[in-house]
């Protein structure tokens, strides 16, 4: 039997910064299958899934369980995290992570056909599986100064599923009829939600304090963000710029960028 230990790195700012040792307290689950087994109709290795938590050195330590021991052989490894310090019950059934929610930075990784023997190292390369959206606001025509106070948007319907074998999240085809507030900081807002396929635009409500000369007004703008080709794709960041004019909003298509992958390396399998 071979003892398995884990270590990783993660990007602390999941959008723009390079990877570094995973911060202390990040939780994830790790599952193992015999190589070639389909998680849809096969059971995972009996000692998994394992709940792990990172320490100050980036080690992913098994919680509430003894060390993991596995026979020498070939395995497929999977790992899932919500990139959070909070303990979370992941429901995995028939090879799918179920009940996905907006606002969670779902990370997924796999290493297949891995030979586990003496001093084997398994390297996970984590990728974002949700969608990140950013809006930056600027004072436009007829506006001297601007303060965005609240932003509410319609998000993807929740309770999606992530396929363990591929990491793909089944996109929602509908936006919620209710808007939800998102955090605003220095005339910018950002949120995470599940992938979307179908709608051509996303409703948005913006509350702002607009200053024109000596006049200070509280204004509400109702508009929609255009969704190019009706798709918000997983692992992608959409950056919008909105000019708040005196009487209206000016906005264009999103600048689409890859939401950087995360490398979780130095996962050690030692005897």
Question: What integer is the mean pLDDT of 174-181?
Answer: 94
Q: What's residue 5's pLDDT?
A: 58
Which region, left, alpha or beta, applies to residue 50 given φ > 0 means left and ψ of -120 to 50 means alpha?
A: beta
Q: Which pLDDT score is estimated for 89?
A: 86
Tens of pLDDT, residues 76-111: 999 999 988 888 889 999 999 999 999 999 989 888
In the structure encoding, which two tokens stand for residue 48, read together?
């998994």
Kindly list the distances between the CA atom of residue 114 and the CA atoms of 34, 36, 198, in Å, as whole numbers in the listed order. 9, 11, 38
Rounded to two decimals, the pTM is 0.87
Read off the pLDDT band of 262 (50, 70, 90).
Answer: low
The residue assigned the tokens 């890859």 is: 258
pLDDT confidence tier of residue 269, bands split at 50, 70 and 90: very low
Among the residue ranges 2-11, 52-61, 242-251, the one predicted with the least confidence is: 2-11
Closest to 4 measured CA to CA, from 60, 82, 55 = 60
Per residue in 118-161, pLDDT tens? Answer: 777 777 777 889 999 999 999 998 899 999 999 999 999 999 99
Burial letters for 148-168: b for 16+ Cβ neighbours within 10 Å, e otherwise? beebbbbbbbeebbbbbbebe
């Amino acid at each position: 039997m071979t003892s398995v230990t884990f270590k990783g790195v993660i990007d602390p700012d999941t959008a723009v910064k390079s990877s570094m040792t995973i911060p202390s307290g990040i939780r994830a689950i790790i599952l193992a299958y015999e190589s070639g087994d389909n998680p849809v109709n096969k059971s995972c290795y009996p000692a998994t899934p394992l709940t792990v938590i990172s320490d100050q050195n980036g080690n992913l330590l098994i919680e509430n369980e003894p060390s993991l021991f596995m026979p020498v052989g070939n395995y497929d490894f999977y790992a899932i995290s919500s990139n959070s310090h909070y303990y979370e019950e992941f429901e995995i059934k028939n090879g799918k992570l179920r009940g996905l929610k907006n606002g969670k930075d779902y990370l997924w990784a796999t290493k297949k056909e891995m030979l586990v023997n003496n001093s084997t190292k398994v390297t996970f390369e984590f990728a974002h599986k949700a969608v990140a959206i950013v809006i930056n606001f600027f004072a436009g025509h007829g506006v001297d100064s601007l303060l965005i106070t609240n932003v509410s948007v319609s998000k993807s319907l929740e309770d999606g599923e992530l396929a363990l074998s591929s990491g793909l999240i089944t996109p929602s085809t509908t936006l919620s009829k209710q808007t939800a507030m998102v955090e605003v900081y220095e005339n910018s807002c950002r949120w995470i939600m599940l992938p979307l396929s179908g709608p051509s635009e996303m409703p948005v409500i913006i509350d702002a304090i607009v200053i024109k000369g000596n006049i200070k007004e509280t204004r509400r703008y109702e508009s929609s963000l255009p969704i190019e080709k009706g798709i918000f794709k997983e692992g992608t960041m959409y950056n919008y710029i909105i000019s708040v004019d005196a009487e209206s909003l000016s906005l264009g298509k999103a600048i689409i960028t890859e939401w950087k992958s995360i490398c979780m390396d130095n996962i050690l399998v030692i005897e």
